[in-house]
């Protein structure tokens, strides 16, 4: 990285729980490493959240803690993206493309690195989100497209819990260059050149976390949970193998690490959704309402279609599809699955 490439401004798109946590960690890291000249901007569309951050140094919707007074938030895209060097996208997949089109790209004044933090697909096009970045951002304004993924709860990251990530791109040297600008005493980042496989792991991990919650909600013990956890890992590998990618990525923080984290705690929306379905032994109206906010529920159909079309044998995904879309009774579906072993 030359002097001309010096990172002076980082923009996090999305003032939700994860975007706020990442921004706070990066600001504190800049303070501690004496890089106070580095500007960290949190761009959001919720005026109330942005005002709360700027005036009260809090994002009360998600956290009770006080944020760094040096963290700036903005709803002005022109101000936010002017001279941005790194742009991290922490927005829901359903708003990913429109945010790039409407807020980010029209206000770029120079080329930047783009990092996807979101999990899921562009469900209209059935494309991974880093492909959407490559399509929407002109080549002369895109220094590189990357994916940051790992075993992380925003609610722990923001309180400085050491957290492991991988940073993937198509070029390992690109990943190494950007990793050096983001790694700190909280975010432990490993550079990788497995961009597509990292994206697909983040997609399949969510429904598998629903599966683990479902098993818990039905009251199964640890032996059976371990059985399903092992099967979940096997299905991760099946998907990665289908795309002809390196399966070693499964054994990283973005694979097993993330599945362990989000498939074992009520802090995870996907796990909680599965748990509630299992506990009530049916897909309730309340569970159906979470389809809009739980990435895993939207991914179930995509992965089931993929499995059927290419005969992948993603049996736990197919079981989840029958429960969530065909309204099969969860206890019966799971018992039938176990009986086939």
pLDDT digits (tens, 9 = 90+) for 132-144: 999 999 999 999 9
Residues with Cβ within 8 Å of residue 169, at least 6 apart in sequence:
144, 145, 146, 147, 175, 178, 192, 193, 195
Query: Is it the case that residue 1 has pLDDT exceeding 60?
Result: no
* pLDDT at site 288: 64
* pLDDT at site 2: 44
Per this entry, what is the length of the chain?
Answer: 341
Report the distance separating Cα 237 and Cα 239, nearest Å: 5
Report the distance separating Cα 46 and Cα 88, nearest Å: 18
For the residues 294-298, what does the mean pLDDT come to?
76
Using CA atoms, how far residue 37 sits from 32, 71, 329, in Å, is 12, 12, 57
DSSP class of residue 52 equals: I
Query: Is it the case that residue 15 has pLDDT exceeding 60?
Result: yes
Using CA atoms, how far residue 23 sits from 87, 130, 141, 198, 298, in Å, is 11, 21, 23, 22, 27
* pLDDT at site 3: 42
Report the distance separating Cα 84 and Cα 10, nearest Å: 6
Residue burial 174-186, b: 16+ Cβ < 10 Å; e: rest: bbbbbbebbbbeb
User: Hey, what's the torsion of the CAs at 324, 325, 328, 332, to 10 degrees?
Assistant: -40
**Is the sign of the CA dihedral 209, 211, 214, 219 positive or negative?**
negative
- Tens digits of residue pLDDT in 18-58: 999 999 999 999 877 666 678 999 999 999 999 999 999 99
Query: Is it the case that residue 338 has pLDDT exceeding 80?
Result: yes
Query: Is it the case that residue 194 has pLDDT exceeding 50?
Result: yes
Nearest Cα residue to 207 out of 269, 282, 147: 269
- CA-angle at 19, arms to 78 and 132, nearest 5°: 70
Whole-number average pLDDT of the chain: 93
DSSP class of residue 82 equals: T
- Tens digits of residue pLDDT in 225-237: 999 999 999 999 9
In percent, how much of the chain has pLDDT > 70?
Answer: 95
* pLDDT at site 267: 94
What is the reported pTM?
A: 0.94
Using CA atoms, how far residue 100 sits from 108, 120, 135, 136, 189, in Å, is 10, 16, 10, 7, 25
Nearest Cα residue to 258 out of 133, 158, 132, 119: 119
For the residues 185-208, what does the mean pLDDT come to?
95
For the residues 114-122, what does the mean pLDDT come to?
94
Report the distance separating Cα 230 and Cα 236, nearest Å: 10
Grade residue 6 by pLDDT with cuts at 50, 70 and 90.
Answer: confident
In percent, how much of the chain has pLDDT > 90?
Answer: 87
For the residues 89-112, what does the mean pLDDT come to?
96
Query: Is it the case that residue 110 has pLDDT exceeding 90?
Result: yes
Nearest Cα residue to 115 out of 140, 80, 142: 142
Query: Is it the case that residue 276 has pLDDT exceeding 60?
Result: yes
* pLDDT at site 238: 97
């Amino acid at each position: 990285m030359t002097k001309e490439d010096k990172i002076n401004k980082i923009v996090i798109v999305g003032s939700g729980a994860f975007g706020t946590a990442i921004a706070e960690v990066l600001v504190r890291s800049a303070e501690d490493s004496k890089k106070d000249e580095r500007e960290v901007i949190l761009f959001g569309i919720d005026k109330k959240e942005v005002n709360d951050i700027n005036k009260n140094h809090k994002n009360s919707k998600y956290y009770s803690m006080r944020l760094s007074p040096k963290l700036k938030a903005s709803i002005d895209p022109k101000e936010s993206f002017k001279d941005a060097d790194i742009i991290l996208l922490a927005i829901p997949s359903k708003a990913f493309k429109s945010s790039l089109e409407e807020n980010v790209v029209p206000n770029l004044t120079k080329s930047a690195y783009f990092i996807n933090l979101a999990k899921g697909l562009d469900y209209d096009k059935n494309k991974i989100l880093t492909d959407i970045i490559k399509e929407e951002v002109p080549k002369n304004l895109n220094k590189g497209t990357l994916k940051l993924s790992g075993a992380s709860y925003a609610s722990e990251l923001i309180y400085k819990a050491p957290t492991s990530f991988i940073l993937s791109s198509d070029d390992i040297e690109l990943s190494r260059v950007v990793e050096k600008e983001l790694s700190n005493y909280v975010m432990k980042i490993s550079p990788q050149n497995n961009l597509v496989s990292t994206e697909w792991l983040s997609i399949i991990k969510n429904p598998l976390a629903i599966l683990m919650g479902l098993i818990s909600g039905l009251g199964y013990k640890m032996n059976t949970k371990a059985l399903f956890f092992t099967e979940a890992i096997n299905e991760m590998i099946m998907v990665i193998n289908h795309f002809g990618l390196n399966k070693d990525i499964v054994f990283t923080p973005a694979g097993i690490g993330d599945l362990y984290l989000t498939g074992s705690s009520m802090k995870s929306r996907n796990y909680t959704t599965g748990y509630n379905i299992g506990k009530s032994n049916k897909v309730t109206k309340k569970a159906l309402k979470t389809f809009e906010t739980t990435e895993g529920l939207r991914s179930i159909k995509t992965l089931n279609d993929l499995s059927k079309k290419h005969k992948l044998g993603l049996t736990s995904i197919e079981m989840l599809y029958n429960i969530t879309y065909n309204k099969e009774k969860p206890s019966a579906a799971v018992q039938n699955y176990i009986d086939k072993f």
